[in-house]
Structures are given as C-alpha cells and as structure tokens.
Amino acid sequence: MKVSSLGEFNLIEKIKKVIENGKKHRNYNKRRLILGVGDDAAVVAKDSRKAFLATTDMLIEGVHFSKKTASLRQIGWKALACNLSDIAAMGGIPLYALVSIGFPQDTAVKEIEELYRGIESLAGKYRVKIIGGDTVSSPCFFVISITVLGEIEKKELVTRSGAKLGDKILLTGTIGDAGAGLRLLKNPKHLKFFNRYEKYLINRFLLPEPRIKEARIIARTKCATAMIDCSDGLDLSIKFISRQSKVGAKIYTDSIPLSGGLKKTSSAFKKNPLEFALFGGEDYELVFTASPEKTKKIKKQISGVTVIGEIVSKKEGIKFLDKKGKVLKLKAKGYEHFTDNPEF
C-alpha cells in the first residue's frame, strides 16, 4: 500500500507499532518519560518539579512553502513558529532550538543568512537560543528541520487528553485566516488590489505568531483541562482532543471567530468561510477546554478568547451546529500531508 492512500495519521499509528514492537524494546527511560509520541510535544521529567519539552517539525520546499511566494526570512520565521506553537500547546516555555537545513549547492550565502535572520528574529522575540544544528547539501530543494526544547512545571502541563464532560471549548484569536492567505498566494490574480485585508490574511499565513504568551497564562492559572494548537485546522484539533480525552464535542459554528478579511475573501472565492476555519490549517491558534467557572476567569485574563463549543459524552460524537442547533454537514477533511488534498 502507498502512503498516499493510507494517510498521515494511519501511517503514524503504523510507525508507533514498529517503535513499540522493537525486539529490544523494554521500558528503558520510561520512568522519566511523561509523554512520548502523540501530543504536541514530548515531555521528559527534569526533576521532581519541572519537565523538559521537545518537539520537531520538518518543512520542505514545494510542500510547506515556496520561494516564489515567501522570502527566506519569512520561511525561517515560520519554520520556528510552528515549533514554538507546539511548545505553547503544552503550556510550556520555549528555551532552545536546533536548526538543520538542506539546500542546493548553488544557493547564495545571502539566502542562508536571510533564512537564519528570520529564525533569529522570532527566536529573539521569545528568548529562544539556537544551540546547534546541521547544514547539508540537497539535490534540488530547501529542507528545514527544527527541534525546539522547552520547559514547564509539571503541575502546569496541559495535554490533549484531559477534557471533561461539560467543559467549554475555547479558541484564541480568529481562525481560517492562514488558509485564506494561502489561497490568495496561490491565486495571485485575486491579489491585484492587494488591500489591507489581503495583506492581513497573507501575513497570517507567512508570519504566524505562536501563542506563547497566552499559553503561559493558561498554564499558570491551571484553567485548561486539555489543549492543542490549530496547525492542521480546527476540525482536526477538535478530533484529536475528543479522541485522546475520550469525549465528544459540540461546536457552535456561529460562535467561531472569523476575521473581516476572511469573510470578504471567502465571498470573493465563493467559499463558506467555515471551510477555511475548519480545514484550512496553519493558524497556530490554541484550542483548549476549561470548566465553566474557569472559562469565566480565563476570558478576563486573555483578550480575544472565544467559547466555540462544549465537551459532550463520547457517544454523542463530534457535531458542528448552526445557529439554530441543526447539525451542519461540512466536508470534514483536514489538511493532511500525503493525501491528494491541496484544496481541501
């Protein structure tokens, strides 16, 4: 069977089996391993109080970015941003980055410097230090692989698996913008006016801001029962939290916060903006769950947090409801690598 017909998430299940069935696999280093494969970042105990976080993301030219639509500085920023977002999704503080890049031999030195300037500008903003990496030759395209190490107090850790019946589902910022920004970049004829809205959406795609600040408030106040980032679209984020917390979810689609730019651009593309919100991906917002009491508290502490739904029992499944409470039939397909799904 080809990977393309299996899909990324089934492939990961197969990989997990290989890892777990390793002949020599015993429970080595397990005592200190708090969380392995299957959350936004791995968690390893540091001491009785603190834990280390580790996450990694690989970006490949032609799949995750194009030098035609993004500068190398922007590409560098984004390559680090998706890793910082994974640390944020655990509630953690990012500390160190290891940066590996592969690129063709005829690349100009200036391009590499620009890439690192992009990484460094975001790293500096969140006080992340680049402590290592690798530079290698690539036959024809750029590859960037970044690993970020972070830290968290164990009692502040938020995973995907703690959502409880009756919890509210909350979202930082607006969603769907990055997907619409990508659509604009891929259809430059729509860009002839390049207005404020279009610039906003494209920036949301090219220069995402990891929600480190918000994540730290959520973690410190211990208000969240589960958390994940929205890198693969809201639909998949909800699915992951539901699956790993063994619950269901009701999403009030009318409450999903959509930017003015997204609404205008969706109508230009004759699309329902919800499609961008649910399946567009790459927004790097945080989705988290909290009890109704804690929800009130956190809304006072972080501006721009919206309640978009509620945790229900597992047997109720995941439902997207319109403002009348009717179940919406949206093509529930997230952005997965390896499936022929460029346009969702």
Element (H, E) at 220: helix 212-220
d(CA 99, CA 284): 20
Nearer to its own copies, 108 or 327 (CB): 108
CB of 99 to its own copies, least distance (A): 8
Q: Smallest gap, in angstroms, from Cβ of residue 148 to its own copies?
A: 10
Contacts of residue 292, defined as CB under 8 A and 6 or more positions apart, other chains included, come to 166, 167, 168
Choose among 35, 91, 94, 87: nearest CA to 219.
Answer: 91
Q: Which is nearer to its own copies, 117 or 199 (CB)?
A: 117
Which strands, in side-by-side order, build the sheet including 129-137? 33-35, 42-45, 50-60, 143-153, 93-103, 129-137
Q: Which of 131/327 has CB closer to its own copies?
A: 131
- Cβ-Cβ contacts under 8 Å for 149 (sequence gap 6 or more): 52, 53, 54, 94, 95, 96, 97, 98
Q: Work out how close the CB of 177 gets to its own copies at its nearest, in angstroms, rounded to a whole number.
A: 23
Shortest approach of its own copies to residue 67 CB, angstroms?
13
- To its own copies, the closest distance from the beta carbon of 196 in angstroms equals 27
In whole angstroms, how close is the CB of 142 to its own copies at the nearest point? 11
Residue 180 in contact with residue 343, Cβ under 8 Å?
Answer: no
Q: Which is nearer to its own copies, 173 or 233 (CB)?
A: 233
CB atoms within 10 A of CB 273: 24
Q: Which residues contact 298 (CB under 8 A, 6 or more apart)?
A: 170, 217, 218, 221, 223, 224, 290, 305
Could you tell me how far CA 304 lies from the centroid of its own chain?
A: 18
Residue whose CB is less far from its own copies, 117 or 222: 117
Q: Which is nearer to its own copies, 70 or 149 (CB)?
A: 149
Closest CB 251 distance from its own copies, rounded Å: 27
Complex with its own copies: residue 55 or 85, whichever CB lies closer: 55
Distance CA 145, CA 163 (A): 31
